[in-house]
A and B are shown apart, each in its own frame.
Chain A
Amino acid sequence: MTELAIKKKQRPKNLDLKTIRLPLPGKVSILHRLSGVGLFLCLPLILALFQWSLSDGGFECVQAVVANPIGKLVLLGLIWAYLHHFCAGIRFLLLDWHIGIDLPSARKSAGLVLIVSLTLTAVIGGTLLW
């Protein structure tokens, strides 16, 4: 037991964020966390826009927000955050079910998540905002 503890201590350790090279699945994972937190922080904005869009005369106001370049950018960011979180979330659910759990598949699906979520953002964002 003590031997084990000593061995554990001697393992090389690198927690310097600047020199850690995060592999692709790691990047997808941290983006999943960041997008989840971003969406959480934007919930008041999302609910307010939803309420507004359904209120009397509010639909046109929301259309004006969409027409505004800054509004467009913010909404595009939210759409990407949702779609990335959605795609990466489904990947995590599959991994939880031990689907695609081996390293080569897991690397491939991480790349796929990035590509699919960006493509969907372009298609859905493009359709709704332009």
Chain B
Amino acid sequence: MKRNVVGAHYGLTTWIAQRATAVLMAIYTIIFLVAVLVVQPGTADAWRAIFANGFMKFVTFLFFLSLFYHAWIGIRDLWMDYVKPTSIRLSLHVLTIAVLIGYAGWASKILWSL
């Protein structure tokens, strides 16, 4: 059998993960909007208080992790759709993962330096 290297042989799990992260982000979006609506953060302190709250910090971090995983799958699909040469495609995959892992570190730093 002739096999193509696509950098992904786990279609269904990834497909489900993209949907699961989408649902998590959608729920967070509602939580965030409600928090902003309730607190009406017009000052730096009020804005900071939102994310200093333990629950919000936790779900915000969860949102970021979902986002990065979701974006990885989405951008990976994009490379698979438009970039055919295997070496370039795999390089772009690695670059995308590296950037997103960096963002995850960055997001945790932002939240936990509060």
Contacts and interface: CB of A to CB of B under 8 A. Distances in A.
A36 B25 CA distance: 13
Interface in A21-58: 33, 36-37, 39-40, 43-44, 47, 50-51, 53-54, 57-58
Contacts of B71: 36, 39-40, 43
B26 A36 contact: no
A59 B22 contact: no
Given A40-B74, A59-B44, A93-B23, A47 B107 contact: yes
Contacts of B107: 47
A96 B19 contact: yes
Of the four ranges (under 10, 10 to 19, 20 to 34, 35 or more), the interface on chain A belongs to 20 to 34
Interface in B64-114: 71, 74-75, 78, 103, 106-107, 110, 114
Contacts of B75: 37, 40
A122 B75 CA distance: 28
A93 B70 CA distance: 14
Nearest to A36: B74
Given A47-B106, A86-B29, 11 more contacts: A33-B78, A39-B71, A40-B74, A40-B75, A47-B107, A47-B110, A50-B110, A54-B48, A54-B110, A93-B22, A124-B33
Interface of B: 19, 22-23, 25-26, 29, 33, 43-44, 47-48, 51, 71, 74-75, 78, 103, 106-107, 110, 114
Contacts of A124: 33
A37 B43 CA distance: 32
Main secondary structure of the interface of B (DSSP, over half): helix
Q: Which 4 A-B pairs have the closest CB atoms?
A: A59-B44, A51-B110, A40-B71, A36-B74
Contacts of B78: 33, 37
Contacts of A59: 43-44, 47-48
A90 interface: yes
18 contacts: A36-B74, A37-B74, A37-B78, A39-B71, A40-B74, A40-B75, A43-B71, A47-B103, A53-B47, A54-B47, A54-B110, A59-B43, A59-B44, A60-B44, A86-B25, A90-B26, A93-B22, A124-B33
